[in-house]
């Protein structure tokens, strides 16, 4: 698994330097910091001010083959919000955006988290089309668009138990699937 993480980390760094978004020296400094702290590479590069969050998300979107969705330019549809209770949206770092037919498009900080997608599918009783967005923008959207108490009744009637084992600090730069199924482990790490 460490070998797999190293390959992906180099790929992210290479993509960033190839696009001129950071210099090789900045990348080396971030990699050194990562080896000390264990924090995800993209997160470190953003914290150091070397790259913009949106640039990292767009590259991760290409790596994961999942569309990037800029929440600052979109207001979720009320019908979609009603399908996922606020409590679950907060726990899963997910904001439902719109529903087309029997497919609900949901912005997630980790759109490859199969457990979160399964929970969302069960809650909404429809297929889920995951898109990538930052944890920060998802949290802001949840606070902005879920009215206080708006989905509390749905929460109490949900068949699911509260999601457990979720990391509230999941970001688009973390791979929360490491300890999950062998199929999930085969997907390259985002670090």
pLDDT digits (tens, 9 = 90+) for 75-86: 999 999 999 999
More confident residue, 127 or 10: 127
Torsion, CA 152, CA 102, CA 188, CA 94, rounded to 10: -20
Q: What pLDDT score does 155 carry?
A: 38
In the predicted model, what is the mean pLDDT of the chain?
Answer: 78
Q: What pLDDT score does 104 carry?
A: 98
pLDDT higher than threshold 90 for residue 186: no
In angstroms, the CA 150 to CA 138 distance is: 17
Overall pTM surpassing 0.95 (yes/no): no
Q: What pLDDT score does 92 carry?
A: 95
pLDDT higher than threshold 50 for residue 149: no
Q: What pLDDT score does 11 carry?
A: 77
Q: What pLDDT score does 175 carry?
A: 39
Q: What pLDDT score does 122 carry?
A: 97
Residues 6+ apart with CB under 8 A from 186: none
Structure token digits, residue 97: 């955006």
pLDDT higher than threshold 90 for residue 131: yes
More confident residue, 109 or 157: 109
pLDDT higher than threshold 70 for residue 29: yes
pLDDT higher than threshold 70 for residue 161: no
In angstroms, the CA 173 to CA 40 distance is: 6
pLDDT higher than threshold 60 for residue 88: yes
pLDDT higher than threshold 60 for residue 162: no
pLDDT higher than threshold 70 for residue 165: no
Average pLDDT over residues 90-117: 95
Nearest to 113 by CA among 153, 66, 43: 66
Q: What pLDDT score does 49 carry?
A: 96
In angstroms, the CA 21 to CA 84 distance is: 36
């Amino acid at each position: 698994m460490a070998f797999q993480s190293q390959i992906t980390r180099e790929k992210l760094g290479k993509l960033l330097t190839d696009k001129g978004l950071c210099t090789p020296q900045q990348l080396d400094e971030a990699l050194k910091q990562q080896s000390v702290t264990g924090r995800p590479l993209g997160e470190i590069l953003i914290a150091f001010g070397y790259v913009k969050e949106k640039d990292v998300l767009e590259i991760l979107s290409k790596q994961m083959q999942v569309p990037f969705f800029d929440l600052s330019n979109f207001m979720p549809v009320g019908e979609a919000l009603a399908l996922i209770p606020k409590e679950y949206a907060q726990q899963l770092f997910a904001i439902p955006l719109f529903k087309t037919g029997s497919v609900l498009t949901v912005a997630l900080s980790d759109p490859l988290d199969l457990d979160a997608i399964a929970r969302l599918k069960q809650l909404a009783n429809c297929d889920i089309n995951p898109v990538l967005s930052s944890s920060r923008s998802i949290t802001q959207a949840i606070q902005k668009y879920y009215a206080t108490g708006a989905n509390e009744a749905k929460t109490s009637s949900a068949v699911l138990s509260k999601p457990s084992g979720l990391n509230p600090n999941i970001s688009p730069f973390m791979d929360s699937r490491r300890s999950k199924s062998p199929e999930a482990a085969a997907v390259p790490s985002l670090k």
